[in-house]
Structure formats: structure tokens, C-alpha cells
Amino acid sequence: MAIALEKILNIDLETYLRLNDKKLSDYEVKGVHCVVHYSFRPYDDPIEKTTKEFAKTVPETAEVVVNYQTKTIAPGNSAEKFEKEMTGIALIPKQKKRHNPEIPLEDRAKVLE
């Protein structure tokens, strides 16, 4: 399953963290890169099509992609064939450490020593 398109943002990392009252240490960070080749047809929506392909490359556990950037290239003399390069930074929330319910309550203090 791909990340929702509305979670692919061109906002920079620092601004996203500040607006959401988060710290970089709350996340694992992973660069995401995708290149899609496509032909332009009047009835197609190449922006939606290529963005959906990019979304499939984002880790499933990502909260959001920030710093999303695109570059479109028309190789050679073709006005119909294009290449779109997309990059971004996936923010994956770190797992919070939980206590082990199998350890009896009275023994948990010993584990922490």
C-alpha cells in the first residue's frame, strides 16, 4: 500500500518539525528516490500518475514525506516521451519502548538496574 498523496509535501524538514512540535530524534529518516518514464497523452494526468508511482516507493510506516522535489526531462528530440525524477525524505516514527508484560511487576525494577 502506498502513502496517501496528501502526505507528500514540498515543505522542508525543519518547518514540518516546528509546525508539528516534533524533534528529529522522534523519527528515522530515509531518502526516497524514484524515476518514472512516461509518454504524454492529452487524456492522461502525468503529475498524478508519476506521483502515485513515487508514493509506492515510500516505506509503509512513514508518517509523511518532506522536501519533495521533482525534475522532468524530455530526453532527445521527443516531445511525447518524458522522464520524471522525484526525491523526498520519509519520516518514520520511532517505536516507543514499552515494558515487557511477561516480566512480573516486582521483577521489572531488577531489569532496569
Q: What pTM was computed for the model?
A: 0.76
* Among the four given CATH numbers 3.30.110, 3.40.525, 3.40.50, 2.60.40, the one describing domain 5-92: 3.30.110
- Cβ(51)–Cβ(107) below 8 Å: no
Helix (H, G, I), strand (E, B) or coil at 69: strand
The answer to whether residues 111 and 75 touch, using CB atoms and an 8 Å cutoff, is no
Report the pLDDT value the prediction gives residue 95, as an integer from 0 to 100: 84
Q: Read off the pLDDT band of 82 (50, 70, 90).
A: confident
